[in-house]
């Protein structure tokens, strides 16, 4: 069983969108997998979305622990609230951020706090809602490089991430939106999973 968390010191940086699509991607690649999302955010976005949707995975309110993790779980993805008081436990973490100095300053503080509070972490920084090209995109990528992260999985600003949820699906299950931007969105999410869960390497 592999567990990863999505956390950020800033709100509205795609944590919930990424958590749901990461789960959708794992199941799209292997439909026998049991994937659970834990929603540690009192806002409970994944729970309310799940009630309106046909996701091929379950979203559970709360934080996973030894007592509440289903025995059949292959993957657990935890959507944390954007608060320093709610520091995440998992070693594998995705920290997404918008390409702006305000966000990168907050992320620097956040990453320091993560490492001080919990020791060794596998943090994957993800520039989110970036444009394909531009100064801010380059700055965001340079910011990640300063942390020594070799692979940088960016997520572009794409309507399809929102459109698919309006149909109750992730970009992997939303056939009606299949087109260039859906293929590209799927590739963005697969890149994140490959890095976070080491899918292409033996552990
Ligand atoms: N790649 C994207 N391109 C365009 N819009 C996006 C993308 N990802 C997410 N969004 C939109 O951005 C907003 C914030 O996304 P989301 O709710 O996933 O962030 P969050 O970090 O979970 O927010 P919160 O901190 O409130 O929990 C939502 O309106 C979502 O639909
Ligand atoms: Mg959220």
Distance, in Å, from the CA atom of 167 to the CA atom of 159, rounded to the nearest integer, reads: 13
Confidence of residue 15 (pLDDT cuts 50, 70, 90): very high
**Alpha-carbon span 137 to 193, nearest angstrom:** 21
Give me the torsion for CA of 54, 68, 46, 178, rounded to 10°. -40
Ligand 1 centroid from CA 35, angstroms? 21
Phi, psi of 61 (to 5 degrees): -75, 140
- Report the alpha-carbon distance of residue 134 to residue 124 in Å, rounded: 22
Could you name the CATH architecture of 2-196? 3-Layer(aba) Sandwich (3.40)
Out of 7, 8, 11, 14, mutate this one to test ligand 1's pocket (max ligand atoms within 8 Å of CB): namely 14
**Total-model pTM:** 0.95
Using the CB atoms, write b or e for 59-87: b if 16+ within 10 Å.
bbeeebeeeeeeeebebbbbbbbbeeeee
pLDDT tens-place string over residues 113-155:
888 766 678 999 999 999 999 999 999 999 999 999 999 999 9
* Domain coordinates in residue numbering, the chain: 2-196
- The lowest-confidence range among 37-46, 84-93, 115-124, 156-165 is 115-124
Is residue 17 lining ligand 1, measured as CB closer than 6 Å? Answer: yes
């Amino acid at each position: 069983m592999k567990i990863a968390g999505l956390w950020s010191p800033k709100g509205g940086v795609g944590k919930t969108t990424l958590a749901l699509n990461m789960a959708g991607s794992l199941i799209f690649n292997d439909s026998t997998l049991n994937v659970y999302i834990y929603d540690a955010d009192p806002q409970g976005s994944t729970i309310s979305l799940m009630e309106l949707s046909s996701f091929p995975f379950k979203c559970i309110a709360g934080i996973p622990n030894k007592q509440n993790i289903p025995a059949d779980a292959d993957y657990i993805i935890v959507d944390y609230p954007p608060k320093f008081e709610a520091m995440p436990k998992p070693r594998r973490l995705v920290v997404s951020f918008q390409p702006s100095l305000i966000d990168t300053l907050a992320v620097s503080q956040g990453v320091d706090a993560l490492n001080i509070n919990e020791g060794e972490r596998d943090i994957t920084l993800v520039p989110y809602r970036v444009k394909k090209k531009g100064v801010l995109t380059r700055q965001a990528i340079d910011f990640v490089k300063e942390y020594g992260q070799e692979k940088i999985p960016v997520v572009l600003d794409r309507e399809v991430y929102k459109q698919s949820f309006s149909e109750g699906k992730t970009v992997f299950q939303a056939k009606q939106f299949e087109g260039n931007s859906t293929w590209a969105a799927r590739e963005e999410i697969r890149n994140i999973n490959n890095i976070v869960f080491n899918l292409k390497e033996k552990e």
